[in-house]
Amino acid sequence: MLNAWSEAEHAMKFPDRIKDIPAAQWTPQQRALYEAAVPKIRSTTDQLVPIAKLATHRVMRELYEQMIAYGRAFVDAVPTYTPKDNDLIKIYTLALNTLVAMCAAIDYKSAQTCGPLAELGSPPERFAPVVDPANAAQFMPDGDPACGEWMDAAERYSADRREWFATNPDIPVSEWSPEQKMLNDQVAPAMKRWGSEISAITRDTGNATLRDLAQLAAGWHCRSRQCGSSLESKAIPSEGYAMVLSGVGPAVAAKVWIDAGSTGLGRRVPVHRLHIDLREATPGGITSEVGDTVCAAVASAWRPATLTLTDTATNRLARHGGWKIGAGYRTWISSEVGTVSRVADGLTATELAGGTLISAPDDGPAEQVVAAMTETLAANGLDEVPH
């Protein structure tokens, strides 16, 4: 069965330039690529139906069902394909890769070695209804309120692992260089944080399948680090501490992620970090006053080198890097990092908690906010925090 899955995955590796072309504009060669993939995907999903019926583990059954649902949805979409339909095959492929990786972990005995080290989570209060896998439905056809937070967390996680991803995974631990050992130690807090974040983000979702899949991902990430430290028979010095706090008020819901206590040396990105996610509990709940109050509280209590108040759109446009000073609707810079004597048109600067708070209009478009903040930082010779 794994061979069939690999064949189906290979069949779906279309060039990126083709993915953005709708079916109405395909050349005969491009149409042939898609039509060649269809029978392989259909065959794989058909073979999965009896396997899903035999699955004794709830989340494994859900993975099979989603591979079936999204694979068939893509097959149905091919005749009238548009670029947005590529998301269907992405989800199908992610489910396929997850199943293949889990089976490989069993074959190579790493799951049996690391499994006993995993902490068992509490059972969910709600379960997705059991359905006939032959009629499996997409678990998230219209999105979910948790998606925005998930995407933000995923972007941070990707940035945290960038250097670690560049290492060769085929080198056994006994042959790691000092640099590779350091990078593996340093990625541990990011993995633990990712597990904590996605668990917290989906804890209150009404989508039981989404919560199950998040818990599965969290468990495997944390388990891999626990296993690595156990096999090396030593503590990982850069583990540090991580916690997530959440609360809901009459106007605003807040979640706070804290990473602190790391003793790791030589890392190129900060290891002490605070992240606060604000969501409106009622329309209009998040105001300028709320944002300014949070900035003042963080600057006074946390005493960071810099802080940024932003939203998803602005964050995606802003420059990224572990030590870079952020650009958002509010950017605060400690006087120990630098001073601000000039600001771009439309921005204001005020002294706050031993630093300077640069503010942009709350209704400013994301592109203009990022451009003005970036211009201001450059005008004052500010790029990175000292390290």
SS (H, E, C) the chain: CHHHHHHHHHHCCCCHHHHCCCHHHCCHHHHHHHHHHHHHHHHHHHHHHHHHHHCCCHHHHHHHHHHHHHHHHHHHHHHHCCHHHHHHHHHHHHHHHHHHHHHHHHHCCHHHHHHHHCCCCCCCCCCCCCCCHHHCCCCCCCCCCCHHHHHHHHHHHHHHCHHHHCCCCCCCHHHCCHHHHHHHHHHHHHHHHHHHHHHHHCCCCCCHHHHHHHHHHHHHHHHHHHHHHHHHCCCCCCCCEEEEEEEECCCEEEEEEEEECCCCCCCCCCCCEEEEEEEECCCCCCCHHHHHHHHHHHHHHCCCCEEEECCHHHHHHCCCCCCECCCCCEEEEECCCCCCCCCCCCCEEEEECCEEEEECCCCCCHHHHHHHHHHHHHHCCCCECCC
Instruction: Please give the mean pLDDT across all residues of the chain.
Output: 82
* Structural domain count, the chain: 2
**Which domain-ending residue is among 108, 126, 160?**
108
Q: How far is CA 95 from CA 17, 40, 184, 208, 250, in A?
A: 23, 16, 26, 17, 39
Distance CA 298, CA 328 (A): 15
How much is the average pLDDT of 205-209?
A: 91
* Structure tokens belonging to residue 337: 């990092």
Higher pLDDT, 35 or 125: 35
Separation CA 281–CA 248 (nearest Å): 7
Q: Report the amino acid identity of residue 226.
A: Q
Residue 84 scores a pLDDT above 80 = yes
* Phi, psi (rounded to 5 degrees) for 57: -100, 130
252-260 β-sheet, strand order: 241-248, 252-260, 273-280
Residue 283 has pLDDT above 80, yes or no: yes
**Where a domain ends, among 108, 139, 173?**
108
Model confidence at 237, in pLDDT bands (50, 70, 90)? very low
Mean of the pLDDT values across residues 284-300?
Answer: 93
**Pick from 108, 134, 157: which residue ends a domain?**
108
Q: What tokens does 192 get?
A: 């633990």
Contact at 8 Å (CB) between 207 and 227?
A: no
**Domain annotation covers residue 77:** yes
- Per the structure block, which two tokens stand in for 189? 């807090």
Answer whether residue 198 is part of any domain. no
Per-residue pLDDT, 230 = 40
Average pLDDT over residues 107-116: 62
- On whether residue 160 sits in a domain, the answer given is no
Highest mean pLDDT (candidates 71-85, 138-152, 160-174, 248-262): 71-85
With respect to residue 337, please indicate whether it lies within any of the assigned structural domains: yes
Q: Residue 183 domain-assigned?
A: no
Q: Do the domain assignments include residue 343? A: yes
Q: What is the pLDDT of residue 266?
A: 41
Domain membership of residue 359 (yes or no) is yes
pLDDT at position 8 over 80: no
| CA 42 remoteness from chain centre | 30
User: Which of the residue ranges 61-75, 76-90, 242-256, 281-295 would you say has the lowest mean pLDDT?
Assistant: 242-256
What is the distance between the alpha carbons of residues 364 and 23, in angstroms, rounded to a whole number?
Answer: 38
Give the global pTM.
0.58
The per-residue pLDDT for 103 is 77
Structural domain span for residue 294: 290-387
Q: Does the pLDDT of residue 267 top 60, yes or no?
A: no
pLDDT-derived band at 268, boundaries 50, 70, 90: very low
Domain contains 59: yes
Share of the chain above pLDDT 70, in %: 80
Q: 51-60, 67-76, 243-252, 378-387 — which is least confidently predicted? A: 243-252
Residue 122 identity (one-letter amino acid): S
d(CA 356, CA 299): 10
pLDDT tens digits along 316-365: 788 666 678 999 999 999 999 999 999 999 999 999 999 999 999 999 99
Taking Cα atoms as reference points, which of 335, 330, 340, 338 lies closest to residue 291? 330
Lowest average pLDDT, out of 89-93, 114-118, 163-167, 311-315, goes to 114-118
Instruction: Confirm if 310 and 324 have CB atoms less than 8 A apart.
Output: no
From the list 15, 57, 41, the residue with the least C-alpha distance to 213 is 57
